[in-house]
A and B are shown apart, each in its own frame.
Chain A
Amino acid sequence: MSVASGTKPSGADGGPVLEARGVRKVFRTFERVPGLRGILKNFVAREHVDIAALDGVDLRVERGESVGLIGANGAGKTTLVKILAGIVPASSGEARLLGRDSFDLRDAEKRRLALVMGQKSQLWWDLPPIDSFRLLKEIYGVSDADFAERLARFASMLEVEDRLKIQLRQLSLGQRMKMEIIGAFLHSPEVVFLDEPTIGLDLISRETIRRFLVGLSEQRAVTFVLTSHDLEDIEETCRRIVVLDQGAVAFDGGLTDLSQRVTGKRAVEVHVHPNARVDEEALVAELSRHGAELAGRSAGSLTVIVSAERLAELVPRLFAMLDVKDLSVERQPLERLIREIYRRGIDAAGGGEG
């Protein structure tokens, strides 16, 4: 809009597209006691357990940003998506979408929103995708021309033109996921949440989906929030990374910061004889001389993290110092990286904010 919007803090245009302030979410679950006594007990006084899924999340996403949300299983990614998209309310704190309280969205905001869930179908299970798409067209009030053009374009981009008339339940996982994505973009949304859209898909399908997302975000200023356990998904589609750890933001910064750490570091797994003696003190001293560190140790193996450039000088030293049975080098796995970020969370998060 051409109206000066800088002065409108909570206005839909100009303000952040997504905003979370001190969002907490506690799930209360009831424990079921088995047996007849259990039934009575459940009836009288159910025992509950509170699970804090989110513990004070702050996040601000501007128009056109593509945010990759990563974190271990149970870190709270899906919960954050649910809260921002207005599916569940936050226990406390404030979540806003397009300037409006997420849990109180009107049709005007919902029209600009889309949700893709890897685990849950947004389309109708018993209908062929084409019928679901027609329903969505009516619900979102998409014009005939736009509908036909988008459907044809998306279907060819995702290579599923020949599957549109087959019942959704009869499609393969990857084909279904592509249909879900088409359905989500038919109404040309401005904010899109994708929760593990590539889960269980093969390499080629993943590639296709990534290309599709990148293509769309380049054409229009779509705001994405994408969660995935596949770091490549995130690397290729998102410029900003948010790491959740146990319900809190452990890292929030540019992809370049993070990918340097990932691509720049190697995890060296050294297998030794289980009962061989290892002088750990000397080893740690030697490692630090090469800028490396001992990241894990078990009876038969050691894990060493080192920067890629210094790998060549370190490996011979390892052979010299240890009775090496086998040795493998990998890119630093995501899990370990996240843990590392979490340990140094404060400075990493502080440095990431532009």
Chain B
Amino acid sequence: MAYEFRKRIQFRAGFFVREVLNGTVEPLVMLFVYTALYGSAAAAAGEGVGTEPVSLGGWTYPEIIQYVAGLVVVRKLIFHSRALDLATEIFEGRVTKYLVMPFRFFVLHQGRFLQFTLLQLAVAALVWCIGYAAAPAYWLVPVSVAATLQAGVLVLMGSYCCFLIFFILNALAFWLDVVWSLLVMAWFVIGFSGGALVPVSQMPAAFYGVLSLGFPYWMITAPIELLMGRLGTGDFLLGAGLVAGQLVALDLLRRWVWRRGLARYVGAGM
């Protein structure tokens, strides 16, 4: 009994440690790179005399640190492909049982998204508290409650778009053998074009012009800038509109791919 209990506690604790630590390596690397970058830029600018802080692509060093802190929290909320195992369900014919049941299969996965989101909201809050307790001077503190809500809405809408994309890629298992590599690639593209490595607004203008139209930007860079007060309510409205449009389009694509896929389903293993 006691053994069982201890095992279970260890499992729970392990889960939280994993969740909290998950995705902290990249931000740490970013931090080192940025520190070196700004250090050499400052050295080149004025041999330590300058009272003006060095700005690269519109971002100062303290701002970048806040960005990285925001990134750690925001990434917790973004739906990742590991939370779906649809492709294997299709491969192994485990989808069959749902096809004869009187409910929409997709609703089940929406349920997973909801579950993921609720859990990760708790994890994100926890991570924010830990970060704030550890380094209150550098940690990102939202400028207002409204900004926090706006950022939250954008992140979750973007996360839902990710969910749709992963669902669609998983559904390609009706046609393809290897879906896993597509999922990894998609995650990389979404992360990069959203600002998981470099804030999109720090990228060259041409990049920024294109990427600021896509939901990844509004899921990562833009919410953090809202939290920092670099963007305002007008930007939020624009972003929400753009993302809503993409969300609807992705959902239509999801329906179409699913219908086409079902027509190719063979119900393996029966």
Contact = CB atoms under 8 A, between A and B. Distances in A.
Contacts of B269: 119-120
A-B CB proximity, top 7 nearest? A107-B102, A110-B102, A122-B97, A111-B102, A87-B267, A115-B100, A82-B267
Interface string A140-154: 100000000000000
Contact of B96 (A120, A123, A140): A120
B191 interface: no
A86 B100 contact: yes
A87 B265 contact: yes
Contact of A78 (B99, B101, B270): B270
Interface string B82-102: 000000000001101101111
Interface of B: 93-94, 96-97, 99-103, 263, 265-267, 269-270
A140 B100 contact: no
A85 interface: yes
Interface string A120-164: 111100000000000000011000000000000000000000000
A113 B270 contact: no
A85 B100 contact: yes
Interface in A77-121: 78, 81-82, 85-89, 103, 107-108, 110-111, 113-115, 117, 119-121
A139 B102 contact: yes
A195 interface: yes
B270 A140 contact: no
B100 A119 contact: no
Contact of B103 (A82, A107, A114): A107
Contact of B270 (A89, A103, A123, A195): A195
A27 interface: yes
A86 B100 CA distance: 7
Given A82-B270, A119-B269, A87 B103 contact: no
A120 B100 contact: no
Contacts of A27: 266
Contact of A89 (B97, B102, B103, B263): B263
Contact of B99 (A87, A119, A140): A87
Contacts of B100: 85-87, 110, 113-115
Nearest to A89: B263
Contacts of B94: 120
A88 B266 contact: yes
Contact of A88 (B101, B102, B103, B265): B265
A113 B263 CA distance: 20
B182 to A, nearest CB: 15
B266 A140 contact: no
A30 B243 CA distance: 39
B270 A119 contact: yes
A27 B268 CA distance: 12
Contacts of A108: 102
B266 A139 contact: no
Contacts of A115: 96-97, 100
B100 to A, nearest CB: 5
Contacts of A139: 101-103
Contacts of B99: 86-87
Contacts of A103: 263
A85 B267 CA distance: 12
Nearest to A30: B177
Given A87-B100, A88-B265, 8 more contacts: A81-B270, A82-B267, A88-B267, A103-B263, A111-B102, A117-B270, A119-B269, A120-B93
Given A87-B96, A120-B93, A120-B96, A110 B266 contact: no
Contacts of B97: 115, 120-123
A103 B269 CA distance: 19
A95 to B, nearest CB: 14
A86 B97 CA distance: 11
A107 B269 CA distance: 25
A139 B107 CA distance: 12
Contacts of A78: 270
18 contacts: A27-B266, A78-B270, A81-B270, A82-B270, A86-B99, A87-B99, A87-B267, A88-B267, A107-B102, A108-B102, A110-B100, A110-B101, A114-B100, A117-B96, A120-B97, A123-B97, A140-B102, A195-B270
Nearest to B99: A87
Contacts of B265: 87-88
Question: Which one of A81, A82, A121 has the highest number of Cβ atoms from chain B below 10 Å of its Cβ?
Answer: A82
Nearest to A123: B97
